[in-house]
Structure 1
Amino acid sequence: MTAPQPRYRRALAIPAGMAMATALAFLPNTSASAAPAAGSVPAAADAGSLSYVVNVRPGHRVPSRVERAIGEAGGTIVTSYDQIGVVVVHSSNPGFAAAVRAVPGVQSAGATRTAPLPAQSTGDLGAPKVLGADEIAAAEAAEGQDPLEPLQWDLPAIKADRAHEKSLGSSEVTVAVLDTGVDDTHPDIAPNFDRAGSVDCASGKPDTTDGAWRPGAAESPHGTHVAGEIAAAKNGVGMTGVAPGVKVSGIKVSNPDGFFYTEAVVCGFVWAAEHGADVTNNSYYTDPWYFNCTADPDQKALVEAITRASRYAERKGAVNVAAAGNENYDLAADEITDPVSPNDSTPAERVVDPSECYDIPTQLPGVVTVASTGAKGLKSSFSNYGRGVVDIAAPGGDSTRYQTPAPPATSGLILGTLPGGKWGYMAGTSMASPHVAGVAALIKSTHPYAPPALVKALLYAQADAVPCTDPYDIDADGKVDAVCEGPENRNGFYGWGMADALDAVTR
């Protein structure tokens, strides 16, 4: 089995017939451009500055002694989220974090990156497989289907096609897409787009400029693809989302180079919490560390900041859904070799204990962790797994060589919307997560007063149990590619099972 390329995460472009192609570089880098977007980096930022989070007591203003200490240590406060006690700071003092950690009232502090502001791109932009005009023309939709729906094998895999006969979901429900930005002008997204709930959080501070949530011309289409998977309108155009009647908002949390830094993710969760999001989708990991080890004071502060933000969003009513990752890691193993961290400077191979080192937000308390399946219903060749870590499974695609869909679908990847009114295929746990986010939105539509804990309980209870695939030899080379542990209704490959959209609208 060809190993996934470890430097990339969440979204894979896998041409038919190949075991694993170049992954979409939307995490470490989605653009060759080093120019920051408006509002993403303060114009006065020192070229040698780093960004930090300083965690203080939640629910209060930043204590004056902490403010003074930040200034005395060479820091400038960019913004503060008093609700959760997270302060975003820029400083060119390499001893800044150590200095403020000693200040009474500071609970933790750490650098959110290892490369100076602005981060420098370290790779090339990957690309999805764009659907050609001939493929669009060849799709033959049945009555009641959108034109490209016959190509979406993933909808019947979770019974979404049958669910749509009962309900498309409520326009009172909103899914916030924390990602690389969403093109709200796309004809499949525009009817369901929530402009008031959308923002650019890349700098760690909300930029509400009209359209700031859209991806730039050289930036990744990833967020637009995810948004369409969730809520592409059933409007006689293009494809159909899992929940085509709900709203979707775009919260841009990646910078122009494709890095998802802690301050941006914190901003995204808080914005979603305060603008009525019922579900958040998180198809990324927080850069620059694949795993954040709490024994390290910097990484500990990042875990604390995003934990506070995600829990705040849940307290405000949002179900947080996240992708499990694309490295075929067993996240319940005793140790994992991480060769890609930090991904914004010089990575160094390290062995981590996943019980103390966390992929965030994927492994945070309360987050719904989603593994990916292919067109045959098996764990995708690349999908991370782990008993007690993976909560649920959903279609994320796989190489057609491994899992071929039944006709009329032609690709084992997942169809989604792309900027500029296009459609195309991508694969990854990035694509599995929005399927679960869509099902959660349908549950919320059916039970509008259900709190997040109940929505999650229903999501798991309604999932169709899937037994372990044993042995798991996805490429049929005679070697086991991953080992699944656990019973039919709660195992390391599929968690509680396959998400069920039909139960979401009928139970």
Structure 2
Amino acid sequence: MTEPPWRRERRAHFPGLPAWSAATSRLALESFGITRQEQVTREWAWGGGDGAGVRVCVLDTGVEAGHPRVGRLERSLVVARDGDELTVTDCEPVDPAGHGTACAGVIRSIAPAVRLTSVRVLTDGRTGSGAALLAGLRWAVDEGFDLINLSLSTTRSEFLPALHELADRAYFRRCLLVAAAHNMPVLSFPWAFSSVISVASHDERDPMTYYYNPAPPAEFYARGVRVPVAWPGGRIIRSSGNSFAAPHITGICARILGKHPMMTPFQLKAVLYLAASNVVARNGDPYVAV
């Protein structure tokens, strides 16, 4: 396969069939790799992988390049106002708050060979405009990143339609959003959308232990309590929050995609489920942690 199906030109509409349909009696279906469910183990999913070749965008407060836990960034950008317009422009690889550096360091610790890009859409780690979030996310989706880490959300319902459209567009372009659940018991977006991977915290210490949640909207639990994270100035601190659970899953996804680059978001979600610590089967019994 020379080019992944999601990058190809869409086939022309076939006469006599509804739009988006396929004339399977006359045309060959798109080819794709097939893995049987029983073959999906953690070793098959990401064993030996380091995320090489996978492009990850961190939408956050910026990332301090050169931090020992972060290393090199491919690019550092910021959403800035140019008159009445918001533009995404290159900037110095700094982080005035620390939050983005922490998330990037977690991703790098799990998938050390990923290609990281930072887009600053928040200011002090807590505040930012919905318009800036939309502008940064739209840029990242259009750039075709494999994964976008969103350890942020908005409760402002007026941004919901545009965010939903972007999340769905990303999903069908094989650009998967990994979004942290809100730290408070309130509904916010985009983590509550079904087209993203939504993550909340567990309080165990192993960074590769994660659990499937059979009662969404948070689909997975990952390490998020007293996590050692990178902080500006080359420091390391401990911090807690769903913000730091999401990049653990982003890093695991990067390792999976590094080994299996033709996976779609649908397939990747299925593999995450099958390899979750409470789903990996022992003696044929489901929900047994191994």
Within 1, Cα distance between the matches of 2:276 and 2:63?
A: 29
Matching residue of 1:375: 204
- Structure 2 counterparts to residues 433-448 of structure 1, below 5 A: 433-448=246-261
1:260 alignment partner in structure 2: 128
Match of 1:222 among 79, 99, 106: 99
2:160 is paired with a residue of what secondary structure? helix
| Cα separation, partners in 2 of 1:210 and 1:278, compared to 1, 3 Å | same
Alignment of 1:272-421 (within 5 A): 272-286=140-154, 289=155, 292=156, 299=157, 301-327=158-184, 329=185, 358-375=187-204, 387-397=215-225, 413-421=226-234
- The question of whether the paired residues in 1 share the 8 Å contact of 2:151 and 2:179 is answered with yes
Note the alpha carbon deviations across 1:201-244, whole angstroms, 9 max, x for none.
26572332331x5323xxx201000000001xxxxxxxxx1111
- Shift in CA distance, 254/315, structure 1 to aligned 2, threshold 3 Å: same
Q: Distance in 2 between matches of 1:205 and 1:312?
A: 21
Q: 1:200 aligns with which of 78, 82, 91?
A: 78
Matched, 1:189 2:46: no
The 8 Å contact of residues 99 and 125 in structure 2, kept in 1 or not, is answered as no
- CA RMSD, aligned part only? 3.0
Q: TM-score, normalised by structure 2?
A: 0.72
Return the structure number with greater helix share: 2
- The amino acid across from 1:365 in the alignment is S
Q: Deviations over 1:338-377 (max 9, x none)?
A: 6xxxxxxxxxxxxxxxxxxx41011123111112111278
**Counterparts of 1:61-76 in structure 2 under 5 Å?**
none
Gaps of 5+ in 1: 1-158, 232-240, 293-298, 330-337, 339-357, 378-384, 398-412, 467-487, 490-496, 501-507
| C-alpha displacement of 1:169 | 2.1
Distance across 2 between alignment mates of 1:167 and 1:221: 28
1:194/1:248 contact within 8 Å kept: yes
1:450 is aligned, of 246, 263, 281, to 263
* Pairwise CA distance, 1:433: 0.5
Q: Which residue of 1 aligns with 2:239?
A: 426
Aligned-pair distance for 1:448? 0.8
Shift in alpha-carbon separation, 1:462–1:257, aligned structure 2, 3 A: closer
Q: Decide whether the 8 Å contact of 2:152 with 2:180 is kept in 1.
A: yes
Structure 2 residue identity aligned to 1:167: G
Question: Cα–Cα, structure 1 residues 260 and 361, in superposed 2: closer, same or farther, change >3 Å?
Answer: farther
The answer on 1:179 being equivalent to 2:60 is: yes
Structure 1 residues 304 and 388: CA distance shift in structure 2, 3 A: same
Q: What secondary structure sits across from 2:57 in the alignment?
A: strand
Quick one: structure 1 residues 311 and 389, their matched pair in 2 at CA, closer, same or farther if it must change by over 3 Å? Answer: same
SS in 2 for 1:215: coil
Identity of aligned residues (%): 30
Task: State which of 432, 436, 461 in structure 1 corresponds to 2:274.
Answer: 461
Give, as a single letter, the amino acid of the residue that structure 2 aligns with 1:425.
Answer: R
| One-letter amino acid of the counterpart of residue 246, structure 2 | S
The alpha carbon displacement at 1:419 in A equals 1.4
Q: Which runs of 5+ in 2 are unaligned?
A: 1-41, 207-212, 280-285
State which structure, 1 or 2, has the greater radius of gyration over its C-alpha atoms: 1
Measured in 2, the distance between the counterparts of 1:272 and 1:359 equals 21
Evaluate the alpha carbon distance shift between residue 168 and residue 428 of structure 1 in structure 2; reply closer, same or farther with a 3 A threshold: same
Residue 166 of structure 1: aligned partner: 48
How many residue pairs get matched? 235
1: distance between equivalents of 2:125 and 2:234? 23
Question: 2: distance between equivalents of 1:365 and 1:375?
Answer: 26
Q: TM-score, normalised on structure 1?
A: 0.42
